[in-house]
A and B are shown apart, each in its own frame.
Chain A
């Protein structure tokens, strides 16, 4: 089974500080896509950032960046200058490179708390 593992069920960060959420995955493919999704209390899934495995450069989106280590099969999310609105459940996900649809395999999630 091609699994996605998030080993931190909960994390806490102070406002304006930086936090890193961990994600590892298991795959036999050489090319694939990786994602971080945010799920606030409204439970809607919102894409935070996307990484193509064939690209060595780490993706960034404003305060969000990833540390993609392909050999280690690691894909961590760094949130800089944390804001209260960042409090949510964060899911790491993987999708295959080939196929007819974007089938995501999700991790179990990390609940991020942001404190004043």
Chain B
């Protein structure tokens, strides 16, 4: 089965630094997502992306966050100035179509902000 690939698997950064989390969605998928999971808590939606623009975002996704699809394969999440509370597992996901479709998740990037 095709996979969503995320790099790096672990990222440690200092508070206030910028981080970029990278994802390669499944090649024929059109919708891309970022979710996050703070340790011991539920998975939360951050943002969805379609046709080179954000289609929906949550209240968590403030001005410190941005997403980009810089080329035909990568999908990135940038956190401009990391805070301690940004420490979480970040999951990238993609789907072929939109609402109700099966989301394929990557293995996640564990972000630790010190």
Contacts and interface: CB of A to CB of B under 8 A. Distances in A.
Interface stretch (B15-23, B69-77, B78-86, B93-101): B93-101
Interface stretch (A14-22, A75-83, A90-98): A90-98
Interface in A85-106: 91, 93, 95-106
How many interface residues does chain B have, given as a range?
20 to 34
Contact of B50 (A50, A95, A101, A108): A101
Contact of B100 (A52, A91, A108): A52
A91 B41 CA distance: 11
A43 B41 contact: no
A101 B43 contact: no
A91 B42 CA distance: 8
Q: DSSP class of B's interface residues: helix, strand, loop or mixed?
A: strand
Nearest to B57: A103
Contact of B56 (A43, A44, A100): A100
Contacts of A99: 56, 98-99
A57 B19 CA distance: 45
A47 B45 CA distance: 16
> Closest 8 CB pairs between A and B?
A101-B48, A45-B105, A33-B100, A100-B55, A106-B43, A44-B107, A106-B42, A108-B42
A33 B99 contact: yes
A100 B98 contact: yes
B105 A101 contact: no
B42 A101 contact: no
A42 B107 contact: yes
A101 B33 contact: yes
Interface in B22-55: 31, 33, 35, 37, 41-45, 48, 50, 55
Contact of A50 (B41, B45, B91, B102): B102
B42 A107 contact: yes
A103 B43 contact: no
A33 to B, nearest CB: 4
